[in-house]
């Protein structure tokens, strides 16, 4: 039985973790380094770090914050935002990241996926895609870029299929419609994705209760889930610990890594 992974995703602005609803109205939560240590000690399986304004502002990733986080945590750590070329990938990896996430730049220059896979291995390249429901696309979902600000006219399912063919070793699908709503994951989207690609899938956008994780892992073949709002969003009536979530999933026959002996 595959072990499902729980991932904390940090949307970073000026070194701070923020939370938003559908990519708008960001609220500061905590300094990235500080919250990374809390999540690591709590037993989170992985961290993903997105410099969410880097692409829109046409600048590179906040490498100093990447270094600060990498020095303090010892779990798989993915970074993205403002990654433009192999040199940026190399710099992020040498700063302590284990995987690189490409999003807007991959749409503009798909060869960055294949170049990264050839240089560092497919396991190091994550294709992150922000998608929104629409009647204009055959699959019903369209790719957005630049922090979900710009529609591309690209079909989301066709895009992730191409991303896999180019060499992406993992795909993170974020539902803009569900993002920050606490109403559950976009299961229809994830089922379309799993029928199209064979690489591991990360579901993002909408988790607000332990039941949402149970439904995701029991009704789809998704291997990992981003659970940021459940852990530390100020909009939640109740934040959950990693231990609470893992114990709940284990009790419901969902295979996860055992929680640590501390919170």
Q: What is the pLDDT of residues 1-44, one digit of tens each?
A: 679 999 999 888 888 888 765 555 566 778 999 999 999 999 99
Nearest partner of 209 among 243, 246, 239, 235, judged by Cα: 239
How far is 36 from 41, CA to CA, in rounded Å?
A: 9
Q: What is the pLDDT of residues 134-144, one digit of tens each?
A: 999 999 999 99
Q: Walk me through the domains of the chain, giving residue ranges and CATH numbers.
A: 5-251 (3.20.20.70)
Q: 131: how many CB neighbours lie within 10 A of its CB?
A: 30
Q: What is the pLDDT of residue 170?
A: 98
* Residue 144, both tokens: 């957005």
Task: Calculate the alpha carbon distances from 113 to 43, 72, 127, 224 in Å.
Answer: 30, 28, 8, 21
Q: What is the pLDDT of residues 87-135, one digit of tens each?
A: 999 999 999 999 999 999 999 999 999 999 999 999 999 999 999 999 9
75-81: average pLDDT: 95
Q: Decide if 50 contacts 19 (C-beta within 8 A).
A: no
Q: How would residue 262 be classed by pLDDT, with cut points 50, 70 and 90? A: very low
Q: 58: how many CB neighbours lie within 10 A of its CB?
A: 9
């Amino acid at each position: 039985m595959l072990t499902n992974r729980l991932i904390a995703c940090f949307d970073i602005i000026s070194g701070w973790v923020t939370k938003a609803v559908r990519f708008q109205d960001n609220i500061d939560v905590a300094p990235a380094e500080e919250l990374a240590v809390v999540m690591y000690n709590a037993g989170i399986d992985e961290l993903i770090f997105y410099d969410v304004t880097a692409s829109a502002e046409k600048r590179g990733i906040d490498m100093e914050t990447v270094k600060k986080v990498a020095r303090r945590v010892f779990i798989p750590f993915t970074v993205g935002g403002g990654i433009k070329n192999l040199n940026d990938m190399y710099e992020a990896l040498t700063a302590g990241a284990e995987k690189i996430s490409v999003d807007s730049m991959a749409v503009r220059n798909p060869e960055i996926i294949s170049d990264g896979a050839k240089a560092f291995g497919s396991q190091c390249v994550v294709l992150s895609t922000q998608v929104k429901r629409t009647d204009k696309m055959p699959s019903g979902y369209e790719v957005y870029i630049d922090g979900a600000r710009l529609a591309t006219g690209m079909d989301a399912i066709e895009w992730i299929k191409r991303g896999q063919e180019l060499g992406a070793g993992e795909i993170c699908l974020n539902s803009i419609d569900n993002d920050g709503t606490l109403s559950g994951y976009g299961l229809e989207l994830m089922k379309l994705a799993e029928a199209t690609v064979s690489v591991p899938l990360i579901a993002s956008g909408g988790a607000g209760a332990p039941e949402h994780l149970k439904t995701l892992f029991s009704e789809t073949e998704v291997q990992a889930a981003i659970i940021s709002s459940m852990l530390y969003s100020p909009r939640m009536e109740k934040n959950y610990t990693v231990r609470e979530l893992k114990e709940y999933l284990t009790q419901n026959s969902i295979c996860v890594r055992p929680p640590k002996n501390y919170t």
